[in-house]
Structure 1
Amino acid sequence: MKTRKKIAVIAIILLAIAGLAGGYVLLRYLPAYFRPNTAFAKESVVICIPSGTSPGELVQQLTAEGVLDDPDLLRALLASRTTPAAGFGGRYTVNRGMTTRQILNLIASRRQTPVNLVMLPARTLGEVAAHLAGQLEADSLAILEALTDQQMWSEYGFTRATFPSMLVPNTYQVYWDITPPKLVARLYREYKAFWNEGRVRQARDIGLTPLEVATLASIIQEEVLHPSELPTVAGVYMNRLRANMPLQACPTAKFAAGDLTLKRILKIHTQIDSPYNTYIHPGLPPGPIAIASLQAIEAVLHYNRHDYLYFCARADLSGYHHFSRTGEQHARYAAEYHRVLNRRGIR
């Protein structure tokens, strides 16, 4: 009997301890499920969690950024869960009033808030990489490495010369932690979507391929300060192409010289022996000299029909141009413009 009593007492004690432990756990974790645990006053905040973040680093970041009211609740909940093998990471929107459980489930399930990735016209792939890196987790060096991967160029059917035509400036929704190779793959899909059957037909109707459209668009983009002139300048170059006249486009001489910032094109520049120099090589260059804007591409596809063969910057330095039908008329405008440059000491 005594043994049975002892066993009963021990059982009661163990049950009491279990009850206390259960009560402690209940008290410890219930707030994580039901109590709001946000410390900010705004409707929501966006957090960017670096890939591979550990549980401890996650608590530290959300505390430092003023997201959590009680970091211990997240710490306790994390201790009861298995951490993803790759750690935490991504971009998320946390709404005011969310519980600890809701916040952790959001992050653990990777229900990310996409980035509206803006790709702008640019002169170099380095500029593209730098601008994209400012909006994504990947750094500019990693993005540039992906953009200049020769194997990737080949897989997508491009070369060093033609690859810039694959980049179509626009706004795209992507995840903040997208890897550079996946980013390039996405840009290729957007390129294919942009050059749909309708646009390819438009290019064919004016006697150009998508590559040639992008190449001419990159030239007129560098020529023009005021977008309203884009279709007219495109029309000049289309007329010269049809007449088998050299384009004699100043931006191509700048590109051949390796300096698109040149303020004045001299004879030494027009004589550079480069396939990009349209002063000495007929037709279009082998590829774009810059990443052309959508506006410039559309200006080529819908260029103004006229009979101008020349254009020259106005002497008032307004950025607008005089358009001419004859070489003689163009020469007068050019002489006037160069006199102004000489007076101002622009070399």
Structure 2
Amino acid sequence: MYIKKILLIIVFAGLVGGGLFAHKVYNAVFLPNTRFETGEKVVYIPSEANFATVLDSLSPLLQDLGSFKQLAKRKGYASRVKGGKYAIKKGMNNNDIINTLRSGNIPVKVSFNNQERLPNLAGRIAAQIEADSMALVKAMTDETFLRDNGFTADTGLAAYIPNSYEFFWNTSAVEFRERMIKEYHRFWTAERIAKAKAQGLTPNEAVALAAIVHKETAKVDERPRVAGLYLNRLKQNNVLQADPTVIYALKKHRNDFDLVIKRVLYKDLEIDSPYNTYKYVGLPPGPITMPDISAVEAVLNPEEHDYFYMVANVENFGYHKFAKSLAQHNRNKEQYIRWINSQHIKR
């Protein structure tokens, strides 16, 4: 009888202990373990992060970090941390959180346009993905990459087609570059290449001209006319005389791309730079900015006309007055000079 009582006590204690353990396990796995009030919190886990880094990131978000830590170790996540962007939703339990960190890497939208140089582009991209600007510049300017893909240090910016793209936040600099070269080849279809060739241009030359068109006018509907004007000049082997190229040459010469120049002076036209299209015939060595796709399309589909000159239209700001002859252009130019002098714009 005594032995039976002891056995019953042992069994009962085992049941109670097992129940308590099961309850503890249930709580650790299935009970909500978040302590924030908003719908979700985003955490960024660096590519080289270890489990301690993950715990630091989650500490402000979880009620019981210890239970999460224990379950993560049991499920093997602690030794297989994955970098990325993850959304922890209010009311998630530890199991949900671990599964999210394993397979819930959220893509991010990466957007860029109108960058003047590769370092500017790198800075823009570094603000949107994990790769830092130094790594991006190194990847973008790699000589082997440029040579193998038909670019130079001057034309490298043309490899990046401005748009919005979906990436994982933990994309590396090289992965970003390789994705962009694929997008470049996707953009430059056989049809677009043929249109560039019809204008006597390679794709890189088309981008270089589009960059000038882009800088000359922000009016999308005017860009085909401006493109047609510069193509007329190229076909006549005339200097392009594009003020934006002179401004770029001045910035490059001074190594100051934050320089603001509202008025190009006659003395500026004398700068000895291959980007100065007042001094050198043909296109500059590379694009002076990253042109909008609309500017590239304007070069590929230019307006056909006999214009060779243009000047800002002070009667319709943002647009230009076009001329077929130098005499007509000089009359238009006099009106513009009177206006700019009246605004006291010296530089």
TM-score norm. by structure 2 comes to: 0.86
Q: 2:33 aligns with which of 28, 34, 37?
A: 37
Q: 2:58 aligns with which of 59, 62, 66?
A: 62
Displacement of 1:9: 12
**Is 1:77 aligned to 2:76, yes or no?**
no
Task: Name the SS for the 1:51 alignment partner.
Answer: coil
Displacement of 1:82: 3.3
Displacement of 1:93: 2.9
Pair 1:221–1:137, CA change in 2 (3 A): same
Displacement of 1:315: 3.2
Cα distance in 2 for residues equivalent to 1:11 and 1:269: 102
- Aligned-residue sequence identity (percent) comes to 36
Per-residue CA deviation, residues 166-222 of structure 1 (Å, 9 max, x unaligned), is: 111011111101111111111111111111222212222333211111001111111
Displacement of 1:136: 1.0
Q: Partner of 1:328 in structure 2?
A: 327
**Is 1:46 aligned to 2:39, yes or no?**
no
Q: Partner of 2:204 in structure 1?
A: 211
Per-residue CA deviation, residues 58-101 of structure 1 (Å, 9 max, x unaligned), is: 2332232xx43443331221232435656442112334443211
Q: 1:139 aligns with which of 117, 132, 140?
A: 132
Task: Name the SS for the 2:83 alignment partner.
Answer: strand
Please provide the CA RMSD for this pair: 2.9
Pair 1:257–1:11, CA change in 2 (3 A): farther
Q: Which runs of 5+ in 1 are unaligned?
A: 1-7
Q: Partner of 2:262 in structure 1?
A: 263
Deviation beyond 6 Å, 4+ runs, structure 1 = 8-21
**Is 1:183 aligned to 2:182, yes or no?**
no
- Worse overlay, 33-42 or 208-217: 33-42
Pair 1:90–1:10, CA change in 2 (3 A): farther
Q: Partner of 2:255 in structure 1?
A: none
Cα distance in 2 for residues equivalent to 1:260 and 1:323: 29
Displacement of 1:49: 2.0
Q: 2:241 aligns with which of 227, 245, 248?
A: 248
Report the count of equivalent residues: 338
TM-score norm. by structure 1 comes to: 0.86
Task: Name the SS for the 1:91 alignment partner.
Answer: strand
- Worse overlay, 229-238 or 50-59: 50-59
Pair 1:12–1:201, CA change in 2 (3 A): farther
Cα distance in 2 for residues equivalent to 1:208 and 1:29: 69
- Worse overlay, 306-315 or 74-83: 74-83
| Contact 2:73–2:79 (Cα < 8 Å) also in 1 | no
Q: Partner of 2:254 in structure 1?
A: none
Cα distance in 2 for residues equivalent to 1:17 and 1:142: 61
Displacement of 1:44: 4.2
| Contact 1:29–1:76 (Cα < 8 Å) also in 2 | no
Cα distance in 2 for residues equivalent to 1:144 and 1:311: 37
Pair 1:11–1:240, CA change in 2 (3 A): farther
Displacement of 1:37: 3.2
Q: 1:113 aligns with which of 97, 106, 112?
A: 106
**Is 1:26 aligned to 2:22, yes or no?**
yes
Q: Map of 1:254-333 to 2, 5 A cutoff? A: 254-258=247-251, 261-315=260-314, 318-333=317-332
Q: 2:96 aligns with which of 93, 97, 102?
A: 102
Task: Name the SS for the 1:107 alignment partner.
Answer: helix
Pair 1:254–1:292, CA change in 2 (3 A): same
Task: Name the SS for the 1:171 alignment partner.
Answer: strand
Letter in 1 for 2:338: R
Task: Name the SS for the 1:52 alignment partner.
Answer: coil
Q: Partner of 1:3 in structure 2?
A: none
Cα distance in 2 for residues equivalent to 1:335 and 1:295: 31
Cα distance in 2 for residues equivalent to 1:25 and 1:290: 65
Cα distance in 2 for residues equivalent to 1:144 and 1:162: 14
**Is 1:235 aligned to 2:234, yes or no?**
no
| Contact 2:212–2:244 (Cα < 8 Å) also in 1 | yes
- Worse overlay, 55-64 or 236-245: 55-64
Cα distance in 1 for residues equivalent to 2:17 and 2:239: 87
Letter in 1 for 2:288: I
